[in-house]
Amino acid sequence: MKVKLIKGKVWKFGDNVDTDIISPSIYMDSPEELREHAFEAIKPEFAGEVKSGDIIVGGRNFGCGSSRESAPEVIKALGVGAVVAESFGRIFFRNAIAIGLPIITCPRVSEVFEEGDELEIDLKGAKVRNISKGKEIQSEPLYHDVLDIILKGGIISLLKGMQKNE
């Protein structure tokens, strides 16, 4: 299967960005309000300024905290093309994959990128490139089943596809 490269402008975050920061619980019952307030506690300008296709670069333990699916969902709803971080909270990582948000673990990513850099991800080859600086680093390869879920747009779309093929 040929896999398209994902390309976008970097928004950079630090370590331990938790699911309450991403998806504040007071706005959780309204997807519209949640979109306006995502990441508000640490980057209030993000929700208003993020452009479709931009990419989030996080530090360690990105998405730690609760099991709410709304955290990866709001990131996807804001049009973010992918999330790259040094490491992830367990359930956030699973939920992102389940809803088809490209996500990749890349241990040195914070060193190599500044806010606003142009980033390119080769999901299949497990490579992350800084186009602005001309650097390439290795990321943790995604398991083929996981890659398949992401490329099909999430686990429910994957199931729909499986039904058709039967």
In the complex, the smallest distance separating the C-beta of residue 29 from other proteins, rounded to whole angstroms, is 13
In the complex, the smallest distance separating the C-beta of residue 52 from other proteins, rounded to whole angstroms, is 23
Cβ distance to other proteins smaller for residue 91 or 119: 91
- DSSP annotation of 122 reads E
In the complex, the smallest distance separating the C-beta of residue 166 from other proteins, rounded to whole angstroms, is 10
Cβ distance to other proteins smaller for residue 15 or 122: 15
In the complex, the smallest distance separating the C-beta of residue 64 from other proteins, rounded to whole angstroms, is 7
The neighbouring-strand residues paired with 84 are 57, 104
User: Phi and psi for 132 in degrees, rounded to 5?
Assistant: -60, -35
Question: Could you list the residues that contact other proteins (CB under 8 A)?
Answer: 25, 61, 64, 67, 69, 89-91, 94-95, 98-99, 140, 142-143, 145-146, 149, 154-160, 162-163
Cβ distance to other proteins smaller for residue 3 or 162: 162
Cβ distance to other proteins smaller for residue 119 or 123: 123
